[in-house]
Structure 1
């Protein structure tokens, strides 16, 4: 180890950047755990930001010529200076790392900004549209951006506030379905699994900061390629969580694979934190309005046949049923050796014994006295007559559980049958704990994922969308009792999670909101065609085909309005828990944003307020009016928060805050901590004082750390 340390020191003397990176990797290697999940953490990921303007001090890559199908060079350059204007604007670049210094001048239009994940970022948001049908309800938000950076942004607005995270990450199938450092990870990549784990670990570590530690859930859907590794990663990243895995059938026909089993299932991990627990779900056999079920009185297992040890000696007796179909008397039990034909006869009645069709003598499920007690209360029923069979009448009874349902009021007696037995129906659905293997028709991803998405947005294709009802069921098990829950999906794809949250709100009048995070990546098969048209990422005609613009935003808008992107009413109905026409839409609000990257100087000097404003609004609950510009009078109060920029106007600001019951946060712009504290003391105790921009800047310096 000492020899390696000496060598690293020598490299640092000649090339500080490379030496520092070698030292970081050495520290990671030396701290690797001996047991558990071991994998290469790799160098930090980097993401290209094609829509970001080039600034002095940026890290950039040089793009390939327009029309080229080749990738640009992957080396990173530092922008030392900028010169010129418009199309002739150029940048002087210095090579980052790599030993020998290298400098060149490149046209700015041929550069793209690159953000490495170890860099400190200062995020902002720009609104790109909204859909409003929900009145004063909170807004669902869709954020277009690199999800790792968006997660960092949310540490300012939602640290410890998220009630549920549902994610469906890329499955690492070896197809062109996910990138690492701007490259698709191929099936023959020796580091495919460790790259996937490194990608997931970084995001899960930030997600941990967002979850409410007292009561929240993390839900992760995955296929068979990575589920075993993911299980270990989740255990290591969230040691305080209670982890369970569900198997769910999403394709009953199975996916054909030559020489292999046809895969029909996926896996879902549930990690519960704090007081979170599975709430249960309505039992289909005991749903509201359904009739209370009866159990056949004759025992069914041969180990309980007459004469067996388990069968006992007190449960083989005659039940005398009269011509009216009523039970007139319950006879005495017969010993094993007594022929049933010798039992006393009751005039006008048939002596019914528990006999199988093949003549095997069984036992009744209750002793005579116990059956008599139930009979007196109407809890025994005579079924159809079967005169040609050894047992000439069917006899049923209510179990102790069904009787408890009646006596507790969960089920109500609505009448009596001719034989005196009760007719009871459930007033409310009975709740049961779901099993760990789901084979539910509603979870069919083809019908309620792919086909539903096509109904919403037409022929815009998206690979393997989740069943709407599968996501809905997962969330319901943990947030059915949280009508104002905040749900996050940072691999939101087509927007199924937000759609599911809307469904839950409609079912119980909830005000839950969903934060959906996706990028605007163009599908691999479409990129080649666009490059032939001499288009590149960042061009308007390129970006309009990205996931966020082409799929996610239109899908959420269609769900809310009930109209497809071309303005037509959507045909078809929602099924299962809540059945109604898709064209009815939802009484919900949604706003769409794109992530921006700010400089600390522009933030602290009020130059970036318009782009910081959405984060302030989201931190206050994403509802009501937003303060999008600095107030001319020095302060302003919106529905859920206030902003003070001139501390000399603190008195009217505090008075206005106190008069509004819905205000939760007061943002106070000052560099003077004593003046901040003076204003904070004058606010109601229910209002959180937040110092701008110190809280914003320090948050992102603090959360950074690869």
Structure 2
């Protein structure tokens, strides 16, 4: 029930009480408790997910696949329980459930290769990731990640690594046009399905609830594209799921010629919902005349002028911004108020000490939040001293809680080193003075976009053809996605972006483009599947194939489009090894054959059975999840090792007998930002955490399975 509805109900109750009719007041309360207000649909509509790739075990719930070359039918939707396995044969008994078919009441024997495990959406699933390839051209830069798998389970899996850490989620979900463009319970949904709207809402709600867990609650944005078929229902759903967020809808022209609609106007645009969480809001950017609804007037008053460097506060915001979370980033900075400059950087203060020792004539500045609580700086003392020498730090304005300390983030400083900004010199405090000759008009975009570069035919379909010579239905314009993201992550050079309806991989491509422009190290995690279209499936069926066959899987979205597209974008070469023809246009023009200095890794989502591994999920299956949480940089610790193991960005303690050497090794390696402790003993874990202040110290149970079962159960609430 919404807050508005609650207020109305309460008002009616109070009026009934004033009239002396307490029974009426009770009846109103009872009626309100039983009614569902707002968007009404079947939230609990069953959604069964086939676990392709999971080894079938005794006790599994399964479905029997249709014979090769045959379509899905009523029999292939029936549920069975595996009672025993004998070599390559499984004994099945009908699964007694709410949807039990009375006509399906006889046991049967089926070849194991003809059955697939099935799970309801709310069952705990034990997942892992299996690497299927990588591209490395970016040195020590973080990796762009592509995951092939069911996005509901992939989102559950990412909750371990990224809960509360994601800066931006961009999704282009199925539009539910009625043209069999998406599946529910392994069957395409068409316009004749009386429940298609309810199915779509249930499908979206489950995934958006998981997505909400990933978003940084202090400042992040969810961006959802949609067309006229579901935009009204989507808007209501977003209002219900994100009641405290600021939600705005934008209309964007993606095909100026328009697409013919039966008995209607030609459709030229689609819509974007922006769900701005916490302090999130679009930033002002340099916008061309075509962004304005009255470009002639805008250009007439537009002037050219010097654009100065974009300084930002040294105070850490968002996740892990309190002192107890990053104790190594709490220290004093000393400034001379007469010269208005920083003159000294103190050392990290012990936990029991709240301020440094005062120095005569200097003002001590601590990372105190507006509410007076202790926060932390963006970087440690030694890194800050280095940045002061580079001219990247200066004293800002005075406030009622001290001075603001400003610094140049990596993206802005990259513009200096690349020559985008011309360095004019240094100020008296040593900070850089630089500017570039650009339009001085910085603006927030309007809610109607008619931008030439957003043409989906030319810069979506056509671009994919240039990159990999293959077709993909309805891809977004690369530049449209790039512009959309820019409003929220242009000032975040280390932003984390997730797209769980990734399709052809446009979001990852756009993130790499943004990194190329400002030297940022943004990371994108793309989740896609390996489905083929309805039309393609008909052709494959005629060839006597079915899902799971190598020839079928080779034409799936991930294998045929997403992985080749991301690879081509980085390497600058087509799948055949030829240089890509053509140039990137608009904001950042250069030959596509140059590629990007980026890294990418590809994973398949895997499933493990609780009884299949004696101690739970094999370490190899969860190893990539530990690496993702540590920042997706450097190498992955892939196997258990005696004592402990260290990679570029994280370390794992396997045997507590080696705890002393583990702690010493971690302290001596400045690159380690995350430490995993495998133990069932809470006191042991707390001891390690206390000795590694400033690090993300995470406990894994000795039974790895237990660690990830808990994550899955949390995710479905």
Could you say whether these structures have the same fold, taking a TM-score greater than 0.5 normalized by the shorter chain as the test? yes
Q: CA deviation at 1:62?
A: 0.8
Q: Which residue number corresponds to residue 268 of structure 1?
A: 272
Does residue 702 (structure 1) correspond to residue 714 (structure 2)? The answer is yes
**Counterpart Cα distance in 2 of 1:31 and 1:539:** 51
Q: Deviations over 1:154-213 (max 9, x none)?
A: 111110011000001111111121011111111021111111111111100110000000
* Aligned with 1:51 (options 43, 50, 53): 53
- For structure 2, list consecutive stretches of 5 or more residues without a partner in the other structure: 1-30, 292-297, 303-420, 423-435
> Could you say what secondary structure the match of 2:82 adopts?
strand
Q: Which residue in 1 is equivalent to 2:558? A: 548
Q: State the Cα distance separating 1:487 from its structure 2 match.
A: 0.3
Among 450, 459, 468, the alignment partner of 1:457 is 468
Q: What TM-score, normalized to structure 1?
A: 0.74
Query: Structure 1: which 5+ residue stretches go unaligned?
Result: 1-28, 297-409, 412-424
After TM superposition, the structure 1 stretch with the greater mean CA deviation from structure 2, 69-78 or 181-190, is 69-78
Task: Answer yes or no: is 1:679 the counterpart of 2:688.
Answer: yes
For the structure 1 residues 604 and 576, does the alpha-carbon distance in structure 2 shift closer, same or farther, using more than 3 Å as the test? farther
1:471 aligns with 2:481: yes
> Could you say what secondary structure the match of 2:652 adopts?
strand
The counterpart of 1:78, out of the listed 77, 81, 86, is 81
Residues of 1 paired with 2:280 and 2:581: CA distance? 38
CA distance in 1, matches of 2:34, 2:482: 39
Q: Could you tell me how far 1:254 is from its partner in structure 2? A: 0.7
Equivalent in the alignment of 2:200: 196
Distance (whole Å) between structure 2 residues aligned to residue 548 and residue 126 of structure 1: 14
Q: Distance in 1 between the 2:215 and 2:249 partners?
A: 19
Instruction: Tell me if the contact between 1:676 and 1:691 (Cα under 8 Å) persists in the aligned partners.
Output: no
Distance 1:432 1:696 in 2: 45
Q: What residue in structure 2 maps to residue 137 of structure 1?
A: 141
Correspondent of 1:115 among 116, 119, 126: 119
Deviation at 1:56, TM superposition (A): 1.4
Residue 625 (structure 1) aligns with: 635
Equivalent runs, 1:526-541 vs 2, <5 Å? 526-541=536-551
CA distance in 2, matches of 1:605, 1:226: 46
Aligned mates of 2:466, 2:510 — CA distance in 1: 16
Q: Which residue of 1 aligns with 2:130?
A: 126
Further displaced range: 39-48 or 600-609 = 600-609
Q: Which moved more, 1:149-158 or 1:425-434?
A: 425-434
Given that 1:494 and 1:555 are in contact with CA atoms closer than 8 Å, whether structure 2 keeps it comes out as: yes
8 Å CA contact retained: 2:82, 2:93? yes
Partner-residue secondary structure (3-state), 1:261? coil
What is the match of residue 660 of structure 1?
669
Q: Per-residue CA shift, 1:323-364, capped at 9, x if unaligned?
A: xxxxxxxxxxxxxxxxxxxxxxxxxxxxxxxxxxxxxxxxxx
CA change 1:256–1:142 in 2 (3 A) is: same
Between the aligned partners of 2:153 and 2:484, the Cα distance in structure 1 is 26
> Structure 1's 236 and 607: CA in aligned 2 closer, same or farther, altered over 3 A?
closer
Q: Distance in 1 between matches of 2:649 and 2:593?
A: 32
CA offset digits 1:59-96 (Å, max 9, x no partner):
10011222323535211111121112xxx433343433
Indicate if the aligned counterparts of 2:508 and 2:566 stay in contact, CA closer than 8 A: yes
Asked if the contact 2:59–2:81 (Cα under 8 Å) also holds between the matched residues in 1, the reply is yes
Give the C-alpha shift of residue 36 in structure 1: 1.6
The 5-angstrom pairing of residues 176-215 of structure 1 reads 176-215=180-219
Shift of 1:599: 3.2
CA RMSD of aligned residues (A): 2.5
8 Å Cα contact 1:125-1:614 kept in structure 2: yes
Aligned counterpart, 1:446:
457
The offset of 1:271, in angstroms, is 0.8
The answer (yes or no) to whether the contact 2:51–2:607 under 8 Å persists in 1 is no
Q: Are 1:502 and 2:512 an aligned pair?
A: yes
The alpha-carbon distance between structure 1 residues 456 and 526, as it changes in their structure 2 partners (threshold 3 A), is same
3-state SS of the aligned residue for 1:119? coil
Range with greater deviation from structure 2 (687-696 or 255-264): 687-696
**1:284: which partner in 2?**
288
1:68/1:531 contact within 8 Å kept: yes
Match of 2:157 among 139, 153, 158: 153
Partner of 1:636: 645
Query: Aligned residue for 2:521?
Result: 511
Q: In structure 1, what is the equivalent of residue 697 of structure 2?
A: 688
Give the C-alpha shift of residue 52 in structure 1.
2.1
1:368 corresponding residue in structure 2: none
Quote the residue 1:520 is aligned against: 530
1:586 aligns with 2:596: yes
Q: Distance in 2 between matches of 1:541 and 1:135?
A: 35
Q: 1:76 to 1:266 in 2, by over 3 A?
A: same
Does the alignment pair 1:562 with 2:572? yes
SS in 2 for 1:171: coil
Q: CA deviation at 1:267?
A: 0.5
Query: Between Structure 1 and Structure 2, how many residues are aligned?
Result: 544
Measure the CA separation in 2 of the matches of 1:92 and 1:284: 64
Q: Is the 8 A contact 1:286 1:429 kept in 2?
A: no
1:565 Cα deviation after fit? 0.8
Please state whether the residue corresponding to 1:178 is helix, strand or coil.
strand
Structure 1 residue matching 2:91: 3-state secondary structure:
strand
Shift of 1:610: 0.4
Kindly state the Cα deviation for residue 116 of structure 1 after the two structures are TM-superposed.
1.4
For the residue of structure 2 that corresponds to 1:622, the secondary structure is coil
| 1:144–1:517 CA contact under 8 A, matched in 2 | yes
For the Cα contact (< 8 Å) 1:559–1:582, is it kept in 2? yes
How much does 1:259 deviate?
A: 2.9
Q: In the alignment, what sits opposite 2:327? A: none
Matched, 1:487 2:497: yes
In structure 2, the partner of 1:16 is: none
Q: CA deviation at 1:645?
A: 0.8
Q: Aligned partners of 2:64, 2:238: CA distance in 1, in Å?
A: 37
Aligned-partner Cα distance in 1 for 2:616–2:82? 25
Listed one character per residue, the Cα deviations across residues 281-309 of structure 1 (whole Å, up to 9, x for unaligned) are 1033699xxxx98769xxxxxxxxxxxxx
Native 8 Å contact 2:290 2:451 kept in 1: no
**Equivalent residues of 1:48, 1:113 under 8 A apart:** yes
- Cα shift at 1:439: 0.5
1:482-532, Cα deviation, whole Å (9 max, x unpaired)? 100000000000000000000000010000010000111011112122223
Aligned to 1:355: none
Which is greater in Rg? 1
Q: 1:33 to 1:106 in 2, by over 3 A?
A: same
CA contact (8 A) 1:50 1:537 kept: no
- 2 CA distance for matches of 1:148 and 1:49? 12
Give the Cα separation in 1 of the matches to 2:506 and 2:662. 41
Query: What's the counterpart of residue 619 of structure 2?
Result: 609
Question: Measured at CA, do residues 129 and 250 of structure 1 come closer, stay the same or move farther in structure 2, by a change above 3 Å?
Answer: same
Report the Cα distance in structure 2 between the residues aligned to 1:236 and 1:264, rounded to whole angstroms.
29
Alpha-carbon contact 2:90-2:109 (below 8 Å) kept: yes
CA distance in 2, matches of 1:630, 1:294: 66
Taking a change above 3 Å as real, the CA distance of residues 523 and 32 of structure 1, as seen in their structure-2 partners, is farther
